[in-house]
Amino acid sequence: MPKLTIPISDADIRALHVGDTVFLNGVIVLGRDAAHKYLVETFIKGSPPPAEIELGEKLRDLLAGGVIYHCGPVVRKNEDGSWAFVAAGPTTSIREEVYQDHVIKHFNLKGVIGKGGMAGRTLQACQEQPAVYFHAIGGAATLIAQAVKEVVDVYKLAEFGVPEAMWVIRVEDFPVVVTMDSHGASIHDQVQAQSQQKLAELLVSR
């Protein structure tokens, strides 16, 4: 499988199409509901207080050309104070639909990892940015954790708690599949349309 190094260029994103399987390498940021709400309300729609400005600059650097992962990990704290990931499975992404397009555009995001796909606002942002949605393997949390080679940092741990904190991790050969691309294609839309057509056919045949 081809490998992509983060930060990812526009050209590399445009070269991806739905169905492509790739390995991701580099630093990614974990973010779920609390993180997305915080990013939008603090840095996009709001004016960050002085105490948040430095973190905002760090996140802007991390996310520019970068990837955000919808994941609530299981972690272990080592004796030396460092962290290790025990499990790192994807969270259902559609919950972030109300925020994701804003985060993609504001932070120059190039990839979103999760499961289940997202809807029209995110797909439109992927075309304009460009960016892609990467589908991670649900039910393989322990396997995915093996791709996490280092916990670089963690933000908002005390405020958000372990599952919702913004963990910054370095990954090697993180396996994902492109299911929404920058050309307007979405496997999730295709599956839904096919399912609705099949249901209609079954109802007619009754």
Higher-pLDDT residue of 172, 204: 172
96 close to 118: Cβ distance less than 8 angstroms: yes
Model pLDDT, residue 174: 97
Regarding beta strands 132-135 and 111-114, do their DSSP bridges make them parallel or antiparallel, or are they unpaired?
parallel
Whether 102 sits among the annotated catalytic residues: the reply is no
Rounded mean pLDDT of 112-138? Answer: 96
Model pLDDT, residue 197: 52
Query: What band does 46 get if pLDDT is binned at 50, 70 and 90?
Result: confident
Catalytic residue among 17, 36, 102, 183: 36
DSSP code for 11: H
* CATH code (residue 101): 3.20.130.10
Regarding beta strands 148-155 and 3-5, do their DSSP bridges make them parallel or antiparallel, or are they unpaired?
unpaired
Query: What band does 83 get if pLDDT is binned at 50, 70 and 90?
Result: very high
Which domain covers residue 63, as residue numbers? 3-205
User: How many domains are there within the chain?
Assistant: 1
Model pLDDT, residue 188: 76
pTM for the structure as a whole: 0.91
What is the spatial distance between Cα 92 and Cα 133, in angstroms, rounded to a whole number?
12
The H or E element that residue 134 is part of is: strand 132-135
Model pLDDT, residue 201: 46
Model pLDDT, residue 203: 52
Percent of residues, the chain, with pLDDT higher than 70: 91
| β-bridge partners, 166 | 155
What is the spatial distance between Cα 201 and Cα 13, in angstroms, rounded to a whole number?
37
Please say whether the dihedral angle defined by the alpha carbons of residues 162, 37, 98 and 105, taken in this order, is positive or negative: negative
Rounded mean pLDDT of 163-181? Answer: 97
| Exposed/middle/buried for residue 100 (C-beta within 10 Å: 0-12, 13-18, 19+) | buried
